[in-house]
Structure 1
Amino acid sequence: MISVVIITLNEEKRIGRLLEDLSNQTYRDFEVVVVDSNSEDKTCEVARGFGKAFQNLIVHRMDGRGTSLGRNTGAELATHERLLFLDADVRLAPDFLAKAMHQFKKKPLEVAGVYMNGDELALGYRLGYGLFNAGLLATSFFFPTAVGACIFSTKHAHQRIGGFDEKIVLCEDCDYVRRASQTFKFRMLPLTFSFDPRRLEQEGFFSMGLTYFKANVRRFFFGEMRNNEMDYKFGHYEDQTKSTAEQQGGAA
């Protein structure tokens, strides 16, 4: 059994796609917990519209905002031991959960990461994803990192390490798996997920990759960033889109 925790912020255009993917999973023994960071659009209404698609769907709207806050809140609301943290713009193949549960039967892992799938993207992106995934595999043995958009955990491990650090804005996901690996075995699962390329399109693939590379090098030598050493805001992709639309409207 799995509790799928999805964090959202102004994701009315994307949350439905992920929930549709989850409704089509061949593995059915799971619940969905949507934790919304006080969205200004109809994210919660869209999510609640999938009530009949799942045996158990929780849509919780927080007063505050934050990636780690949302994931920690979702873990508290979850009723199953196995947790899967997802971002709202993730896309999953129909057999994703089934393959994941099969892996956990073979490998008793408390916490695990998942590789990114860029098969439908341009060649340059696919090559970049390949390098990034190679880095995830290599570092998993000495300085674990992971993509927060898709991380498996358990309530036991989550509670033992104190959840996601809400003071960290950038690389809170990497900090989570690093701390978890100090007590529990961490590995990357031979699975992939996709996500909306808006992140790459708005920041630029190489710019985004360089940001995370510098962040992890800094983490390796100086520890976690809790003083906004590298400015990064939750939900800023949506904010940029809104800003552009507002500018265009003002210029009209």
Structure 2
Amino acid sequence: MFFSVIIPAYNRERELPRSIESVLSQTHRDFELVIVDNGSTDRTREVVQSYIAKDNRVRYFWQENSGSPAGSRNTGIRNAQYEWVAFLDSDDYWFPQKLEEVNKVIEQQPQIVAVSHYEEQVVSGVFDKILKHGHGVGRPLYESLLFKGNAFSTSAMTVRKKELLAVGLFDTRRDYFAVEDYDMWMKLSQKGEFYCIHKVLGVFSIADGNMSRNIELINNNLKTLVLDHIERYPTENKNDLKRIHGARVDYYKGRSYQLAGEYGKAIPILLSSISRDPWKFKKVASLVFALLRIRK
């Protein structure tokens, strides 16, 4: 089985070599590596060209800055030569057996449309926890994702190319920035089965410095996405679902501000979430922590 590995990059001259080398070091050798440069102004192009000179499986595409990695991933998908597309963000990396393990699953489960696996989460270079993507996810998968939240990570996903094309690729609307992957998994979940490998096969990296700066944007877009899907969901109970799950997303926002130590922003958001969907212990606990100025 051949894979098309897609890495979107924007000004990643420092982080990109680790991601590229993690792909070139795979024990499963049948792949192409498609790197899409989203208008970088640093030495990203030169870094990629140094690998192209050594390995003809590496391909490079440059485009004007589209404002998000969704557009870069779509460019990569359109140019992918093989049936299965594996995504990798430019600050994440894989362990050497990743594609080998995914290949085994595809050979044994030919009906699936996507494969995921566990990851290590590393914050500012320090191990934080294991991310058990897909663990305990319910059925039907679409409803589980919509009503319980995103259970998957882009750098841990491998998807059949024809299904990515069938659902219209990643949504590039600004309202979906940073949540376009969640939208994609929900769309794909309506096309067929996902398979989750219960092994850690990669690392999800977080730079701690700018986490709180993106809380407002990400959670506002997440709320837009969830409410959009509920609007299309076949039920007569739309208003109740929007109230409950809008409050759930607001809890995420309030909790994120509380963990970031921005208690003045956290408290009113948590109070609003509780007022619309009470009797959730975790919401009350987060509010108490915010009132006591505790980051826990």
Q: Report the CA distance shift for 1:61/1:211 in structure 2 as closer, same or farther (over 3 A).
A: closer
Find 1:150's aligned residue among 144, 156, 161.
156
Identity %: 21
Whose radius of gyration is greater, 1 or 2? Answer: 2
Kindly provide the CA deviation profile for residues 94-148 of structure 1, in whole angstroms up to 9, marking residues without a partner as x. Answer: 111111111222223212333321389757x32xx45xx36x4234633333212
Kindly provide the CA deviation profile for residues 64-114 of structure 1, in whole angstroms up to 9, marking residues without a partner as x. Answer: 322111111001111011101110011111111111111222223212333
Alignment partner of 1:89: what SS? coil
Alignment partner of 2:39: what SS? coil
Aligned-pair Cα RMSD in Å = 3.1
**Unaligned regions of 5+ residues in structure 2, if any?**
231-248, 251-296
Relative contact order (alpha carbons < 8 A, sep ≥ 6): 1 or 2 greater?
1
Distance in 1 between residues matched to 2:155 and 2:25, nearest whole Å:
19
Distance in 1 between residues matched to 2:188 and 2:194, nearest whole Å:
7
TM-score (normalizing by structure 2): 0.64
The answer on 1:165 being equivalent to 2:167 is no
The answer on 1:62 being equivalent to 2:63 is yes
The answer on 1:43 being equivalent to 2:83 is no
Amino acid at match of 2:69: T
Find 2:120's aligned residue among 117, 136, 146.
117
Alignment partner of 1:63: what SS? coil
Amino acid at match of 1:112: V
Q: Report the CA distance shift for 1:42/1:216 in structure 2 as closer, same or farther (over 3 A).
A: same
Find 2:108's aligned residue among 95, 106, 109.
106
Aligned 8 A contact 2:121 2:205 in 1: no
Alignment partner of 2:136: what SS? helix
Aligned-pair distance for 1:190?
2.4
- Stretches (4+) displaced over 6 A: 207-215
Aligned-pair distance for 1:220?
4.2
Q: Report the CA distance shift for 1:210/1:26 in structure 2 as closer, same or farther (over 3 A).
A: farther
Q: Report the CA distance shift for 1:169/1:208 in structure 2 as closer, same or farther (over 3 A).
A: closer
